[in-house]
Structure 1
Amino acid sequence: MLLRNLADKLGKDLGQPVVIENKPGASGFLAFQAAKAAPADGYTLVHMDSFHIGTQPHLFNKLPYSATRDFDPITPLVRNYFFVVVPSTSKWQTMGELVAAAKARPDSVTYGSWGVASPAHLGGLMLESAAGIRMSHVPYKESAQLYSGVANGELDWAIGSAASAGSMLQAGKVRFLAAAAPTRIGGYDKVPTAAQTGGPAHWAVGGWNGLLAPKGTPKDIVQRLNEAIAKAMNAPDMQGKLAVFTYEPYTMSPAEMGKLMEQEVAAWGPLIQKSGIKLD
Structure 2
Amino acid sequence: MDFLRVELRRIAASILLSVMPRPRIAPSECCSILGLFDALGAHQTEWSVGSVVPKNMETSLKFIRQLCALALVMAAMLPVASNAQAFPDRPVRIVLPYPPGGGPDNVMRIVGERLSKMWGQPVIVDNRPGGNGWIGINTVKLAPPDGYTLLMVDAALFCLQPHLYQNLPYDPFKDFVAIAPVFSTNYFMVVKADSPWKSVKDLLVAAKAEDGHMTYGSSGVGSQYHLGGAMLESMTGVKMTHVPYKDTMQIFTDIIGGRIDWSFATASTANALYQAKKLKFLAIAAPHRYPTYPDVPTVMESGGPNMELRTWVGIFAPAGTAKEAADRLSSDFQKVMAEPEIQQKLNTVGLTSWSGSATDLRSALTQDYNTYGAIQNKVKIKIQ
Q: 2:224 — aligned with what?
A: 119
2:239 alignment partner, SS class: coil
Q: 1:57 — aligned with what?
A: 162
The alignment yields a C-alpha RMSD, in angstroms, of 2.8
Question: Gaps (5+ residues) in structure 2?
Answer: 1-105
Q: Percent identity?
A: 37
Relative distance call for 1:77 and 1:276 in structure 2 (3 A) is closer
Deviates more, 1:62-71 or 1:214-223: 214-223
TM-score by structure 2 length? 0.64
Report the Cα offset of residue 213 of structure 1.
1.7
8 A Cα contact 1:113 1:138, kept in partner: yes
1:135 aligns with 2:240: yes
1:75 aligns with 2:176: no
Deviations 1:173-199 (A, max 9, x none): 432211122322242111111122222
1:250 aligns with 2:358: no
Q: Which whole-Å CA distance do the structure 2 matches of 1:76 and 1:235 have between them?
A: 14
Deviates more, 1:136-145 or 1:117-126: 136-145
Matched to 1:99, the amino acid is L
Deviations 1:248-279 (A, max 9, x none): 21132212211211222222234445535236
1:3 aligns with 2:105: no
Compare the two structures and name the one with the higher helix fraction.
Answer: 2
1:214 to 291, 304, 318: 318
Deviations 1:156-214 (A, max 9, x none): 4222333443454344443221112232224211111112222211x123312111122
TM-score by structure 1 length? 0.84
Deviations 1:214-246 (A, max 9, x none): 223344433332221111112122123223432
Matched to 2:290, the amino acid is I
Q: 1:275 — aligned with what?
A: 380
Q: Which whole-Å CA distance do the structure 1 matches of 2:351 and 2:182 have between them?
A: 10
1:175 aligns with 2:275: no
Matched to 2:166, the amino acid is N
Q: Which whole-Å CA distance do the structure 2 matches of 1:57 and 1:249 have between them?
A: 26
Relative distance call for 1:251 and 1:102 in structure 2 (3 A) is same
1:116 alignment partner, SS class: coil
Q: Which whole-Å CA distance do the structure 1 matches of 2:248 and 2:144 have between them?
A: 36
Report the Cα offset of residue 69 of structure 1.
1.4
1:260 aligns with 2:364: yes
Q: Which whole-Å CA distance do the structure 1 matches of 2:357 and 2:240 have between them?
A: 40
Q: Which whole-Å CA distance do the structure 2 matches of 1:77 and 1:122 have between them?
A: 22
Report the Cα offset of residue 72 of structure 1.
1.1
Q: Which whole-Å CA distance do the structure 2 matches of 1:232 and 1:105 have between them?
A: 48
Corresponding residue pairs, total = 278
Highest Rg: 1 or 2? Answer: 2
8 A Cα contact 2:181 2:315, kept in partner: yes
**Greater relative CO (CA pairs within 8 A, separation 6+):** 1
Residues 28-67 of structure 1 aligned to structure 2 (within 5 Å): 28-67=133-172
Q: Which whole-Å CA distance do the structure 1 matches of 2:382 and 2:209 have between them?
A: 26
1:161 to 266, 280, 299: 266
1:238 alignment partner, SS class: helix
Question: Gaps (5+ residues) in structure 1?
Answer: none
Q: Which whole-Å CA distance do the structure 2 matches of 1:152 and 1:17 have between them?
A: 39
